[in-house]
Structure 1
Amino acid sequence: MSGPDELRNNGVVKNGEAKRETLREELATGERSTRNRVARSILDHGPSTVAELAGRLGLTQAAVRRHLDALVTDRIVEAREQRVYGTRTRGRPAKVFALTDCGRDAFDQSYDQLAADALRWIAETSGDAAVTAFARARMETRAGAYRAAVEAAEPGSRTEALAKALSADGYAATARSAPDPQQGEQLCQHHCPVAHVAEQYPQLCEAETEFFSSLLGTHVQRLATIAHGDGVCTTYIPRSGHTAPQTTPSASASTAGRNPA
C-alpha cells in the first residue's frame, strides 16, 4: 500500500505497452517521484505558482512546468487565476496550480479509519443493533436511484439495471448468468468503496444484501465479498421458481453457513 506522501496513479488510462513503457521510464528516471513531490507541495501549501513550486522543491521552472503539464493531463491539478486581495496591480494575475478533487483523493486519507472509528463508537455506546440500523439506513438513503432503475427495466433485465446503477456509484458492477443459466444470475461488484470498513463491520454487507433482496423481490444469496478476501462481491439471484444454492466450502468465510438476506 502506498504511504501517506505517495500519490496514487489515478491518471488517464493509456493503452497496453505504451502505458507500461511510460511507467517504466518514469520509474527509471525518477519522474514519477518528482511529480509526486510537486503534487504534495501543492497539497501542503495550497495553490502555488510555478516560481513558488520551483523555489520550494529546488527545481527549475521548466522542470516544474513539465510535471504540472502531466498532472493537469491526469486531472490531478488544474490551473487557476491567482486571487488578488486588496488593490490589484497592473498586469495579468499570475497563474496558480491547485489540486482537483481527484487530486486530493489520490493521496491516502483517513476516511476509512474515520468511518471505522464512528461505527466502533456506535457499537460501544448503543450496541451492535445500532450498527445494523445505521447500515440499513445508509442503504435506504441510496434506494431511490436503484429502485427507479430496477422498476424501469423489463423483468428479465432487472439485475443488469441494478448493476448499471451500482456502477454509477463506483461499484464497477456487472450481471452475468449463473453456472446454470436456467436457475439464476450473478450480480458481481468488482469494487467496493467501503471494503476496509466492511471487513470490521459485516453489517454493511448484510444490509446491502437485504436491500438487493427487497429491491428484486426475491431471496438472494451472497456468495463472496471483497471485504473478506474474495476478488469480487458476488450475489446469486435466482430466477422465479428456483431457490438459492447451498453455500459451498469454497465460498467466502464471511458468508459460510449463513444467508444475511
Structure 2
Amino acid sequence: MVNAAASVDESRTRDRLLRVVSQEGPVSITALVDRLGLTETAVRRHVDNLHAEGLVLARDAAGPRRRGRPAKEWVLTDAGHRALASDYDDLAGEALRFLRRTGGESAVQAFAEERVAHLEARLAGRLEHAGDDARSRADALVDALNTEGYSASARPVGTPGGPAALTGVQLCQGHCPVQHVATEFPELCEAETEAFSRLLGVHVQRLATLAHGDHVCTTFVPTPTERPSR
C-alpha cells in the first residue's frame, strides 16, 4: 500500500512539473524548486527522468554567463507537449458534445473531416516521392505518422500465391492524440481511415483502435500481387 501511494505521488509530481515547464518554460531548476516546493535534489531527479524520456530539453540560460557550469533552463519537447494533451480531453469532449447538441451529428462529422484534412495535407507532402506502390507508400506513411507522434510501424501480412491469396501491410499506431475523445466520437477514427485510403490509393480496413480498448490502432492495407502468367 505504501509503495502504491508513493507511486501515485511520484506520478502527480511528474505531471505538475511538466505543467509548470509548459506554462513557464524556459524555466530553471531554481524556479522549479520555488514553484513546486520540493528540494533541489528531488526536482533534479524528476527533471533527469523526464529528460531521459525525451519529454523535456535543456537550453542555455539567457543573460550573462557566470563561472562554472553553464546555467540551464528547461522547455518541453514535442513529445512533452503530447504527454500533456490528455489534460484537454475533457474540454474537447465537452466541445464536441455541444457541437452535436446544437448542430447535430452532421456537424460532428464535418468537424472530424476538417480536422483530418489538415493532417492529410501534412502527410501528403511527405508521400510525394513514394511512388504508386502501395507498400512503398505505406512505409512512407509510417515515417510521416511518426513525425506527428503516432508511434507507427508496418509489417507485411498474408501469403502470396494462389487465386484467393490476400496480402498486404498491417499498419499499427501505438499512440493517438484523440484516443479518449474518439471513444465517444468514432467519427474521428472513421475520418482518419478514409484519409489513409486516399493517401495510399487503396481501400484500407481499420481492424482495431485504441479508442475501443485495443493496445494499438491496426489498419490493413491491401497490396496487389502479380498473377502468374499462363
How far off its partner does 1:199 sit? 0.7
3-state SS in 2 of match to 1:191: coil
Residue 33 of structure 2 contacts residue 43 of structure 2 at CA under 8 Å; is this kept in 1?
Answer: no
Cross-structure match for 2:110: 133
Q: State the TM-score, normalized to the length of structure 1.
A: 0.61
Alpha-carbon shift at residue 97 of structure 1 (Å): 4.9
For residue 223 of structure 2, what is the aligned residue in structure 1? 239
1:200 aligns with 2:184: yes
Kept after mapping to 2: 8 A contact 1:224/1:230: yes
Looking at structure 2, the residues matched to 152 and 114 of structure 1 have their Cα atoms a distance apart, in angstroms, of 38
Q: Distance in 2 between matches of 1:227 and 1:141?
A: 21
- Aligned partner of 1:256 in structure 2 is none
TM-score, reference length from structure 2: 0.68
Q: Partners in 2 of 1:131 and 1:36 — Cα distance?
A: 34
What is the DSSP-based 3-state SS (H/G/I as helix, E as strand, rest coil) of the residue aligned with 2:122? helix
The structural deviation recorded for 1:81 is 4.5
65 and 217 in structure 1: CA distance in 2 versus 1, 3 angstrom threshold: closer
CA distance in 1, matches of 2:86, 2:113: 26
Give the secondary-structure state (helix, strand or coil) at the position aligned to 1:236. strand
Structure-2 change in CA distance of 1:98 and 1:153 (3 Å): closer
With a CA cutoff of 8 Å and minimum separation of 6, indicate the structure with the bigger relative contact order.
2
Q: Is 1:70 the equivalent of 2:48?
A: yes
Paired with 1:55 and 1:211, the residues of 2 have a C-alpha distance of 44
Change (3 A) 1:198 1:240: same
For residue 175 of structure 1, what is the amino acid of its counterpart? A
Aligned residues: CA RMSD? 4.1
Inter-CA distance 171–48: structure 2 relative to 1 (3 Å threshold): closer
Point out the structure with max Rg over C-alpha. 1
Aligned runs of 1:104-123 on 2, under 5 Å? 110-123=87-100
Larger mean CA deviation between 67-76 and 124-133 belongs to 67-76
Q: Which residue of 2 aligns with 1:149?
A: 126
What residue is the counterpart of 1:215 in the other structure?
199
Q: 1:50 aligns with which of 1, 23, 30?
A: 30
Q: Which runs of 5+ in 1 are unaligned?
A: 1-26, 84-90, 243-261
Higher helix share: 2
| Residue identity matched to 2:195 | F
One-letter code aligned to 1:165: A
Q: Deviations over 1:159-179 (max 9, x none)?
A: 111111111111111221123
- Following TM superposition, by how much is the alpha carbon of 1:34 offset from its aligned partner in structure 2, in angstroms? 7.6
**1:22 maps to which residue?**
none
Identity of aligned residues (%): 38
Structure 1 77/126 Cα, relative in aligned 2: closer, same or farther at 3 Å?
same
Corresponding residue pairs, total: 207
Cα distance in 2 for partners of 1:167, 1:39 equals 24
Structure 2 residue runs of 5 or longer lacking an equivalent are none
